[in-house]
């Protein structure tokens, strides 16, 4: 299993070199216009010159995103056909111009996530048609180009593949791509579905690793039933890790949301205690424990057949950081803390898997 690191930048090149990273993911937006922003092109050229194999996340214009709900809502076949043709042709132009730099193309990472693709009725029905258009555009410009679906699978939700692509567009993607963040299930549950927060660490690790294995094996079985043999890959996945000191009391850190009741301190979405308030800047599990979860999970990912896993990300950031990433995985999934110092246990576990994949 090849292990990479997303968002290569020239200022981070030394870290990539020190970790022996050879794969990264970069993004190109507004592809339905057929235009490429020069900063995106420059970054990709510099990454390839530095020895990176690039997975390119193709994103649409905000105009196309706004048009989609209306087109599907009024079921206007002409508007839908025109939009898909515009997307196909724009992608063909972009891939034609960048094809000497990249052969692996992801279409709209996490389209199904409300924060990425929006919220609108029957939204999931749109993606198969979109990825077919993207597939046709990629193959028109680069017949051997790989088509990675926009990764999903957050919190053990495989239906994006099992009930979507494998049913509606089984020949429109070459790689089954996951963004399989575990947002909340770091503890086993009791018979009433409640987290058992005092479970021993080993039990927690085994339980969460088993959840991953069960999801991937069931998905593979469903795909096989439908004649889909696409290999598993991940263009983005990470773990929120904080320092051992930050996570010391009460020994675990709530991972789900920033929505809590001031009086009860209960998470409004989950109904259980918020161990740390989001504004206090602590969301994750400890560096030492995180490395142990990471080791067990990576073993599962390798055993179920992942060919590539690109980790998100190198740096922790702030709520209003330079990339505007206000999610827990953006804030605390870095291999480095905000001050640039390494998360010692986590980065050594990561390095081991990079070397294993390169062997």
**218-266 pLDDT tens trace:** 999 999 999 999 999 999 999 888 888 877 654 344 444 343 344 444 4
Domains of the chain, earliest start first: 2-246+282-358 (3.20.20.80)
Q: What is the maximal distance between C-alpha atoms in the chain? A: 59
CA angle 195–198–199, rounded 5-degree value: 80
* pLDDT higher than 80, residue 196: yes
Cβ(2)–Cβ(349) under 8 Å? no
Q: What is the pLDDT of residue 140?
A: 98
Q: What is the pLDDT of residue 338?
A: 85
Rounded Cα distance, 178 and 150, in Å:
8
pTM across the whole model:
0.89
pLDDT band at 275 (very low <50, low <70, confident <90, very high): very low
pLDDT at residue 34, as a whole number: 96
pLDDT score for 182: 86
Chain centroid to CA 255: 17
Render pLDDT for 23-68 as a digit per residue (tens, 0 to 9).
Answer: 999 999 999 999 999 999 999 999 999 999 999 999 999 888 888 7
For 289, the token pair is 């424990």
Strand residue runs (E) in 70-214 = 104-107, 146-149, 176-177
- pLDDT of 81 strictly over 90: no
Using 50, 70 and 90 to split pLDDT, how confident is the model at 321? very low
Supply the pLDDT for residue 302. 98
**pLDDT grade, residue 328 (50/70/90)?**
low
User: Mean pLDDT over all residues of the chain?
Assistant: 85
């Amino acid at each position: 299993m090849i292990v990479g690191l997303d968002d290569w930048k020239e200022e981070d090149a030394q870290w990539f070199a020190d970790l022996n990273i050879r794969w990264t993911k970069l993004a190109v937006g507004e592809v339905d216009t057929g235009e490429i922003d020069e900063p995106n092109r420059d970054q990709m050229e510099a990454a390839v010159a530095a020895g990176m194999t690039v997975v390119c996340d193709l994103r649409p214009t905000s105009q196309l995103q706004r048009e989609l709900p209306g087109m599907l809502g009024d079921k206007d076949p002409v508007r839908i056909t025109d939009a898909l043709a515009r997307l196909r042709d724009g992608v063909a132009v972009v891939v034609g111009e960048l094809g000497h730099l990249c052969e692996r193309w992801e279409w709209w990472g996490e389209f199904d996530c409300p924060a990425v693709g929006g919220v609108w009725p029957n939204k999931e029905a749109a993606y198969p048609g979109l990825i077919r258009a993207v597939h046709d555009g990629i193959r028109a410009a680069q017949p051997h180009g790989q088509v990675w679906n926009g990764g999903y699978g957050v919190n053990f939700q495989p239906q994006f593949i099992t009930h979507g692509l494998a049913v509606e567009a089984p020949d429109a993607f070459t790689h089954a791509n996951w963004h399989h963040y575990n947002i909340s299930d770091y503890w086993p549950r009791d018979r009433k579905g409640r987290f058992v927060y005092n479970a021993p660490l080993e039990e927690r690790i085994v339980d969460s690793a088993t959840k991953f294995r069960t999801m991937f094996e069931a998905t593979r079985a469903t795909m096989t039933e439908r004649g889909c043999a696409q290999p598993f890959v991940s263009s983005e996945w990470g773990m929120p890790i904080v320092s051992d000191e930050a996570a010391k009391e009460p020994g675990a850190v709530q991972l789900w949301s920033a929505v809590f009741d001031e009086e009860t301190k209960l998470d409004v979405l989950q109904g259980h205690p918020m161990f740390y308030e989001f504004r206090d800047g602590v969301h994750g599990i400890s560096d030492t424990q995180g490395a142990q979860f990471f080791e067990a999970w990576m073993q599962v990912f390798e055993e179920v057949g992942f060919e590539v896993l690109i980790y998100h990300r190198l740096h922790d950031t702030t709520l209003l950081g330079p990339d505007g990433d206000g999610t827990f995985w953006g804030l605390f999934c870095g291999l480095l803390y905000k001050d640039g110092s390494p998360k010692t246990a986590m980065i050594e576990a990561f390095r081991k898997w990079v070397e294993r994949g390169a062997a």
